[in-house]
A and B are shown apart, each in its own frame.
Chain A
Amino acid sequence: MSRHRMPSRHRAALVAATAIAGFGLAAAAQAETLTIGLAAEATSMDPHFHNLTPNNQIAQHIFDNLINQDEAQRLVPALATEWAPIDDLTWEFKLREGVAFHDGTPFSADDIVCTFERAPNVPNSPSGYGTYIRGKTVEKVDDYTIHIKTENPYPLMATDVSTIPIISAAHCDATTEDYNSGAATFGTGPYKFVQYTPGDRIVLERNDDYWGDIPEFEEVVLRPITSDPSRVAALLAGDVDMINIVPTADLETLESRSEVALHTGVSNRVIYMHIDHWREQSPHLTAKDGSAIDNPLRDQRVRLAISKAIDREAIRDRVMEGQSIPAGQLLPEGFFGVSPNLEAEAYDPDGAKALLAEAGYPDGFRMVAHGPNDRYTNDARILEAIAQMLTRVGIETSIDTMTNSVFFSRASSGAEGEPEFSFILVGWGAGSGEASSPLRSLLATHDPDAGMGASNRGRYSNPEMDAILMEALGTVDDARRDQLLAEATELAIGDLGIIPIHYQVNTWATRAGLTYVPRTDEWTLAMTVTGE
């Protein structure tokens, strides 16, 4: 029999084995291949090429990190079994012994040194790992101990390290192309690389020598199906066993079908409005007759009026079909650094009108709101609902939405290197799982060289908040840091540095009989899918 007939023979052997072994093995044998339809495609198999959710979730199958994040983004031991600071500037990591890469080479401290060299320096990387690695020096102490040193006390060390997939030192100088072809795609993860066909599929095979829990499915096929209705149709037709990002429009139908199971969980992503805080006159804000006016969004009362005019519950019920949680700050309850004192602003159109009148805009003004139309769940429709609500309190709002690549480049640097828009809908997922992430990127005074306010597209700046945040970023004591982050959040939200709308709720759908534990980081991981 020729080589390419192997799979079917293999399957036949399994079926025979099942018949002999009886009922107990039936589930395992059926559950041979798991096919997953994904809403977004990974741009590469190189784990360090592009720091982006669709890529990271694929990398997590093949590679391990020193520390992994569980479904709620708590840190769990992976290639490091223990970690702790040994002085203010040094963290010690004890490495797991007896782990091998998929090509058979044993794992040791040299692999970490190599990873830290390669990860921030991948050529042509659209967004790399520099943020997590620069300023850290790795020292090999012995084969299974490393020290990571920083110039200043750095409490986020473990979180930063948990984002970096570890590659083998044997393939340290491999190119992105080598990873895409499979020539260098050897990790220590629960699945081995088999095939990568861009636009069509990624095929993975179970690593039976994995150091952790062996996943249930022997083979995993990940297929990008970017069109929402097609993805749902593929699940209903049985072409795939599971899909991520179930469109809200189809939830009701899927819920009523017994052959489908839904798995829903809140994410770490807040959807919010970013506001022009710094321009005296903002390009997309005018009086109702079209004449120029001073930027009304610089008045805190106007920002509060906008927040009060937005009916977050109506957006949840009518636009998101229940798949959101109205937001009053940067991260949902339960995350690190969240303030217990902040709640979602209640809908109060009369209060909004009164505030606008008090701020000197009794007749409102005219505004263009911008946003992406293919990045977040129902993004364009949320913006449209907000435009309706603002128009009703007198802020005549029109909207302009565009594809996310165009939107983000214009929103960050469309006007001669400065943000182009006045009022935008954006989302932020806290990769580190704590409030320092959005505070640092969205609300700290814009200073990209210092790594602060990198995505502060409104140029909000509050020195008092900056000071508290800096203190928090240098505090290793968790309880104290939690409190400082909550304080900084309260200041920034009290100022309405941004206007939070809601936390996104995500839904995965599987065929009945499969279970998936929803993750706050929105990743879809085959190894956590289980059968009956």
Chain B
Amino acid sequence: MSTAELPGAEPAADAAVPLQPQAETPFGRFVQAYVESPLAVFAFVLLVLIVGAAIAAPWLAPQNPYDLAQVSVMDSRLPPGAVSMDGYTFWLGTDGAGRDLWSAILYGLRISLTVGALSGMAALLIGMVVGLFAAYVGGRTENVLMRVVDLQLSIPAVLIALILLAVLGKGLDKIIIALIVAQWAYYARTVRSSALVERRKEYVEAAICLGLSRGRIIFRHILPNCLAPLIVVGTVQTASAIALEATLSFLGVGLPPTEPSLGLLIANGFNYMLSGRYWIAFFPGIALLLTICAINLVGDRLRDVLNPRLAR
């Protein structure tokens, strides 16, 4: 009996066994919920590929587009598939300065992602600390901090960044600073609203009664319970930081022209739109679109999975 039953039971057990222990941990449950959406999985894979390609750019790209000795103006404006003087093929064509667009896109992705990740991370840290502090301390401090946040949110981020860059000048570090300043307020507001809820809960009162330090309560007790919305806002804001950097570069205030990010590549190509040389703006545009879509789709899915109110 038992021997006869076992073969039939085995597949079911096989399927259940690997899932069972995973689903027991919070992360396991999270992964399980995430993979239910094929689109989100696709977006995640795409994002991994894009980040991987950006990291591996020096090995993937046939040319270092930032090394002026490797770029020749004699190769400028070649259509996709043309062959360079050095014998390799420009699969996506070249731009007005003679850069191989495939290489320029890979290197441009590095800049765009670095800017997005670094400015997103730093803005998150600053916004998080301000938001937590405001929610915990309350009173006048909270009011002042939150009115500053309101004030900043009432001015478009691109305007703040433009003004800052006009003062600071060009460069990767400056554009990151400008984006941090333009974005920290979103995080501060998000964290503060969830921290306000947590602040009134009993476990916080208990912690206060135990005489724990203010910092320990804020960061060890309240913060972990506010993380979910923060992660969601973090992904969305990273995507918008990348878009904002592209906008600023397109307007010519971001990075030096010899080290183009995706936005600058698109801006260069914009001048050629009427001349039929579509590829100079088109391919960097597609790369930017895919990157932002992938991050946003992942962010959307994270929101669905992490939001208890949307739980089925």
Contact = CB atoms under 8 A, between A and B. Distances in A.
Contacts of B73: 314-315, 318-319, 384-385, 388-389
Contact of B272 (A249, A373, A392, A403): A249
A249 B270 CA distance: 10
Interface string A71-95: 0000000000000000000000000
A437 to B, nearest CB: 30
Interface stretch (B64-72, B122-130, B233-241): B64-72
A384 B257 contact: yes
A399 B66 CA distance: 11
Nearest to A400: B256
B266 to A, nearest CB: 13
Contacts of A318: 73-74, 76-77, 98
Contacts of B272: 249
A247 B270 CA distance: 12
A388 B72 contact: yes
Interface string A285-315: 0000000000000000000000000000011
Interface stretch (B12-20, B148-156, B200-208, B273-281): B273-281
Given A229-B271, A229-B274, A384-B257, A400 B170 contact: yes
B276 A401 contact: no
B132 to A, nearest CB: 40
A314 B98 CA distance: 12
Nearest to B256: A400
Given A314-B74, A391-B68, A401 B257 contact: yes
B274 A385 contact: no
Contacts of A388: 68-69, 71-73, 97-98
Contact of A319 (B76, B252, B270): B76
A398 interface: yes
A402 B72 contact: no
Interface in A368-406: 373-374, 380-381, 384-385, 387-389, 391-392, 397-403
Interface in B106-164: none
A374 B270 CA distance: 15
B96 interface: yes
Interface residues of B, number: 25
Nearest to A252: B275
Nearest to B257: A380
A248 B98 CA distance: 16
A124 interface: no
Interface in A318-352: 318-319
Given A233-B274, A381-B96, A373 B257 contact: yes
Given A314-B73, A403-B252, A398 B275 contact: no
Interface string B250-287: 00100011100000000000111111110000000000
A250 interface: yes
Contacts of A501: none
A426 interface: no
Interface of B: 67-69, 71-74, 76-77, 96-98, 170, 252, 256-258, 270-277
28 contacts: A228-B271, A229-B271, A233-B274, A247-B271, A249-B96, A249-B271, A249-B272, A250-B275, A253-B275, A253-B276, A314-B74, A315-B73, A318-B74, A319-B73, A319-B76, A374-B252, A381-B96, A384-B68, A384-B73, A384-B97, A385-B73, A388-B68, A388-B73, A389-B73, A392-B68, A398-B258, A401-B256, A401-B257
Interface of A: 228-229, 232-233, 236, 247, 249-250, 252-253, 314-315, 318-319, 373-374, 380-381, 384-385, 387-389, 391-392, 397-403
Given A384-B97, A391-B68, 20 more contacts: A228-B271, A229-B270, A229-B271, A249-B96, A249-B271, A249-B274, A250-B274, A252-B275, A253-B274, A318-B73, A318-B74, A373-B252, A373-B257, A384-B73, A385-B73, A389-B73, A392-B69, A399-B258, A400-B170, A402-B170
A-B residue pairs, 10 tightest by C-beta: A391-B68, A385-B73, A388-B68, A318-B73, A391-B69, A318-B76, A253-B275, A249-B275, A249-B272, A249-B271
